[in-house]
Amino acid sequence: MAIFNGKTVEDAIKLGLSTLSISEDQAVITVLEEPQKGFLGIGGHDAKVEVKVKENDGERAANFLSGIFDILKIPATTNLVENGDKIVIDIITTTPTAIIGYRGEVLDALQTLAGATANIGNDEYKKVVVNCESYREKREETLRTLAQRVADKAVKYGRKFSLEPMNSFERKIIHSALTDNEKVKTESQGVEPNRYIVVVPENYKEGTEIEVYGKQKNASNDKKPRGGKRDNRDRKEKSEVIRLEKKTIGYGTFLGNSLKED
């Protein structure tokens, strides 16, 4: 960005374009002052314009994110890679938790904003991916492992298993991970932003009991042990048994605090 003067606005613009070695369609030009002749040579001044190189889509998005980090006082820089219609912005920071957020919610929000910024005025949409500390790759690995685990349990018990709500990108990962598994099929259900995947086994059968391992969902559904109370250790070790007549099993707890787009 630079400011240029000229006897006319056109002269000032021409000087700016020549100095920056760019054409007019590559520049963002702002007229700061129109020229004035003054009275008897007194009080007159030249035209003044600001000329800066126009940002491309990726640069606009990356600079937008940098502005957000400045406002939030988060020490972070961006590394931009553009490949055709795909833009990847990698965030380098000493505080990745602040950028990623719980299960990637902050990172997803930043990606949405960056995508909207990059595609301002575009006829064809460019995909924008915002990453930090290889989070996207780690999350994808976690989801693929989860998909296989849920599929195995669905087949073993002959029951539907529902996963926690996910964004469209993450649902695609689950669908993709199980697309070649002939023993199960996947369905997306619900409405955004609470849309989720249900894994349905080929041997699905109604009205059976199934053990749900992990955190208790409803203490009233626990099987009563014979011979008195069970202690805390017993409560932790034994799995909860729930009768599911028309329900599916929530499987979100198995993700725990794992790293977090049919």
At 145-196, the pLDDT tens digits run 999 999 999 999 888 888 988 888 899 999 999 999 999 999 999 998 889 9
Homologous superfamily of domain range 57-133: K homology (KH) domain (3.30.300.20)
**Predicted local confidence at residue 216, as pLDDT:** 35
In order, the DSSP letters of the chain are -EEEEESSHHHHHHHHHHHHT--GGGEEEEEEE--B--BTTBS-B-EEEEEEEPP-HHHHHHHHHHHHHHHHT--EEEEEEEETTEEEEEEEES-HHHHH-GGGHHHHHHHHHHHHHHTTT-SS--EEEEEETTHHHHHHHHHHHHHHHHHHHHHHHT--EEPPP--HHHHHHHHHHHTT-TTEEEEEES-TTS-EEEEEETT--SS-EEEE-SS-S-GGGSPPPSSS---HHHHHHSPEEEE-SS--EE-GGGGTT-----
Percentage of residues in the chain with pLDDT exceeding 90?
51
pTM (predicted TM-score): 0.66
**Predicted local confidence at residue 212, as pLDDT:** 35
Q: Which CATH number fits domain 137-208+244-255: 3.30.1370.50, 1.20.1530.20, 3.40.470.10, 3.40.50.720?
A: 3.30.1370.50
Please list the residue range(s) of the chain that carry CATH number 3.30.300.20.
57-133
Over residues 21-30, the mean pLDDT reads 89
Please list the residue range(s) of the chain that carry CATH number 3.30.1370.50.
137-208+244-255
Calculated CA dihedral for residues 122, 125, 129, 130, nearest 10 degrees: 30
| Residue linked to tokens 């939030």 | 72
Choice among 27-41, 65-79, 223-237 with the minimum mean pLDDT: 223-237
